[in-house]
Structure 1
Amino acid sequence: MAFALYFNENNGYLDGILRGYRSGIISRTQYSNLTQSETLEDLRLQLGATDYGTLLQNEPSPISTSTISEKLTQRLVEEFDYIRANAVQPLTKFLDYITYQYMIDNVILLITGTLHERDTHELLERCHPLGVFDSMPALCVATTVAELYNTVLVETPLAPYFANCLSAHDLDELNIEIIRNTLHKAYLEDFYQFCQTLGGPTAEVMGEILQFEADRRTINITINSFGTELSKEDRRKLFPTIGRLYPEGNARLAVADEIDQVKSACEVFHEYRPFFDTVTSNSTLENRFFEYEVFLNGISFQQQFNYGVFYSYIKLREQEIRNIVWIAECVSQNQKDRIGSYIPVL
């Protein structure tokens, strides 16, 4: 009871705001209406009847899929920024952790661009807005990977992950995916431990969500390493040390050579067993992951007095944006036979 009173006193207003945001998530009926669109202008009109309202009405015609994606993401970022601006500790720190995953991808994008001698100012425009941080413009002055590494190490919130996992020597093109996965591993483990220190419903809700994220990453690393030069020992080092697969499942995946061995290691867990039924490609498996992610983030709202809903809302909205962009692409490319292959959020 004391925890509930403490939560409501410090976070009750924002929890109410967030649940109000969630009530605007597109329904199955609205998705059905979107899929009836013959053109992107039709889609714009249909979106006007959803919670997005007039968001797109001032965009010049013809509207593009990229514009739709950009504006929907901008709305999500504005909502997140409002929540963060009004949050107090420890919710503030929890919200910071949400942004770290996007920071990692943004920094990897900039590192990759530096390796290829791309204009980092152009790359900045491609960075995810949830992963933008104050010192990011400083990355643009780096002309070598070593300079970029030193800037990241000293000036960004990701410094502990770089310092503990990597050296400037690691930053070469051959290792870029290893770097990405090493940083995400460190991030997941750190976020998980932070949520456990919060205790209560947050530890329970986020524990389940982050363990699934760790398992998904472990499975993807395993499958994507088949037929590559990545050694099994190096593969094992990339696996997060949390998750339901850890440690026995991880040990089996570390030595797997084919998809059937991955299936065998995962089917011990009943919730993962359906992922591999009639799987014909990585894209099919990816959709199964997205479906389960939506399920976990949806049920987090059934638990009161937990910070997990702030994480889950971001993930549900992201899936909604992916759905709308998918529908828009099908409309623009006249691929109406595939337009129903989205993953409903409600």
Structure 2
Amino acid sequence: MEGLFFNVENGFIEGIVRGYRNGLLTSSNYSNLTQCETIDDLKLQLGPAYGDFLGSLPPNPSTSALASKTTDKLVSEFRYVRANATGTLAQFMDYLTYGYMIDNVALLITGTLHERDTRELLERCHPLGWFETMPVLCVATNIEELYNSVLIETPLAPYFKGSLTHQDLDELNIEIVRNTLYKNYLEDFYKFVNTHPDMAGTPTAEVMSELLEFEADRRAINITLNSFGTELSKADRKKLYPEFGKLWPEGTFMLSKADDFEGVRVAVDGVADYKAFFDAAGLGGGLSGPGNQGGGAGSNERSLEDMFYQKEMEISKLAFTRQFSLAIVYAWVRLREQEIRNITWIAECIAQNQKERIGNYISVL
């Protein structure tokens, strides 16, 4: 029954998004990209897919400039879909932007803490997470001021429930704020897709539940691993875990007690996928550094982060096998983001003359 009236409001959007998905780079495209000798060669190969967006780049551009322009394509397509979305789909797409808003908040207040240039920080913010009062974040000195002067007028305001304190904004507190916002955001998004009358019991709720449960579990695992050696107490760490997912509640309880990598491995043992990730990572993978990619053709080493990305791509690709589902919008955004990471990785390998690692990207199709 859920498909009876789906196409009346959302059929056009579904067609557009499936078209965008079909425009993702193929394995033959990646094969050509990995043969490039310069960033200009890379630009030329990306021409059919990204030409209009790369046209303003100077000769032999930086990898950050290339990443910014490829992101512009995602932003342009997302905004086109959002402009044509109505009703429940419009609300659904607004939820997708809240994650970018949270990341922008964390980026700005962390940059301000380190006395970075405000203009540079604002340029680094993700366009999909922009809101009018964002520049004011750069003058906030404590969490209460951050909320009262900036966030109270944004969609993020409800996610501060129970977490507002008078603490100063140091690096640890900024991460606590960021992860608290994400926890409340993911729980709200999960509730939205499972209780909204237009989505409850439909393929949208089914697919989105799997995607959001995976994201909740990934965050719980990463929070635990990144907390080792910091001042974050086990009690405070537990408060940051989303209260849903395949690990919740038994697995997250065990995560809250973990003292090391082995403790985390035991905590996730009940979920086959995560157990396999840790078994592989325990052989020498571990967490990869920022921006590292792995698990592609020619790679024998896969970090834990790489395996999470790979799993996210598998779930996102499967979302397109379902009909009458809004989840394909979320899945398409995740696939496009991974494509951008892949392009950036290949460009970095070319720029740093690390051609032996250039195949370590993660398949999108």
Q: Deviations over 1:4-61 (max 9, x none)?
A: 1321100100110010010001111110110000111111111124x22343234221
Q: Deviations over 1:94-147 (max 9, x none)?
A: 10110000100111122223333444333111111110123324445x354454
In structure 2, the residue matched to 1:208 is 210
2:287 corresponds to which residue? 282
Give the structure 2 partner of residue 20 of structure 1.
Answer: 19
Amino acid of the residue matched to residue 320 of structure 2? F
1:165–1:182 Cα contact (<8 Å) kept: yes
Matches within 5 A, 1:175-254: 175-197=173-195, 198-199=199-200, 200-254=202-256
Distance 2:216 2:108 in 1: 24
Q: How far apart are 1:308 and its partner, in Å?
A: 0.7
1:90 corresponds to which residue?
88
Question: Which amino acid in the other structure matches residue 16 of structure 1?
Answer: G
Change (3 A) 1:4 1:124: same
Superposed CA deviations along residues 308-341 of structure 1, whole A, max 9, x for unmatched, are 1111111000000000000000001100010011
Q: Is the 8 A contact 2:99 2:129 kept in 1?
A: yes
Q: Indicate whether 1:101 and 2:99 are aligned.
A: yes
Distance verdict in 2 for CA 1:105–1:29, change over 3 Å? same
Q: Bigger shift: 294-303 or 166-175?
A: 166-175
Q: After alignment, is 33-42 or 121-130 more displaced? A: 121-130
TM-score of the superposed pair, with normalisation by structure 1? 0.94
Structure 1 unaligned spans of 5+:
none
Q: Which residue matches 2:267?
A: 265
Does structure 1 residue 46 correspond to structure 2 residue 45?
A: yes
Answer yes or no: is the 8 Å Cα contact 1:152–1:158 preserved in 2: no
Is the CA contact (8 Å cut-off) linking 2:141 and 2:169 kept in structure 1? no
* Aligned residue runs from structure 1 range 18-167, under 5 A: 18-49=17-48, 51-139=49-137, 142=139, 144-145=141-142, 146-167=144-165
SS at match of 2:167: helix
Q: Indicate the larger mover: 288-297 or 230-239.
A: 230-239
Give deviations 1:291-317, integer Å, cap 9, x for gaps: 000001110111111111111111000
Partner AA of 2:93 in structure 1: L
Distance of 1:75 and 1:104 partners within structure 2: 21
Kept in 2: contact 1:139–1:152 (CA 8 A): yes
Flag the 1:170–1:241 CA change in 2: closer, same or farther, 3 A.
Answer: farther
Residue aligning to 1:330: 349
The one-letter code of the counterpart of 1:203 is: A
Query: Does the 8 Å CA contact 2:160/2:180 hold for their aligned counterparts?
Result: no
- The one-letter code sitting in structure 2 at the alignment partner of 1:174 is L
> 1:239 is paired with a residue of what secondary structure?
coil
| Aligned counterparts of 1:143 and 1:120: Cα–Cα separation in 2 | 13
Instruction: Give, in angstroms, the shift of residue 163 of structure 1.
Output: 4.0
Bigger CA drift: 6-15 or 263-272? 263-272
Higher mean alpha-carbon deviation, 259-268 vs 38-47, is at 259-268
| Residues 1:232 and 1:192: Cα distance change in structure 2 (over 3 Å) | same
Q: How many residues align?
A: 343
Residue 273 of structure 2 aligns to a residue whose secondary structure is coil
Structure 2 residue runs of 5 or longer lacking an equivalent are: 289-302
8 Å CA contact retained: 1:222, 1:253: yes
Contact 1:202 1:308 in 2 (8 A): yes
For residues 149-204 of structure 1, give each alpha carbon's deviation from its aligned partner in whole angstroms, at most 9, with x where no partner exists.
Answer: 32233221111112442234364433111111111111110100001012111110
| 1:301 corresponding residue in structure 2 | 320
Change (3 A) 1:272 1:89: same
Q: Report the 3-state secondary structure (helix = DSSP H, G, I; strand = E; otherwise coil) of the residue aligned with 2:243.
A: coil
Q: 1:274 to 1:74 in 2, by over 3 A?
A: same
Tell me how far apart the structure 2 counterparts of residues 230 and 299 of structure 1 sit (CA, whole Å). Answer: 37
Question: CA contact under 8 A between 1:215 and 1:244: conserved in structure 2?
Answer: yes
2:310 aligned with 1:291: yes
Answer whether contact 1:44 1:57 (CA < 8 A) is retained.
no
- Cα contact 1:153–1:162 (8 A) shared by 2: no
Give the partner amino acid of 1:235. R
Kindly indicate whether the alpha-carbon contact (under 8 Å) linking 2:38 and 2:60 is maintained by their aligned counterparts in 1.
no
Moved more, 309-318 or 118-127: 118-127
Q: Distance in 2 between matches of 1:151 and 1:119?
A: 21
Q: Are the equivalent residues in 2 in contact too, given 1:153–1:160 (CA < 8 A)?
A: no
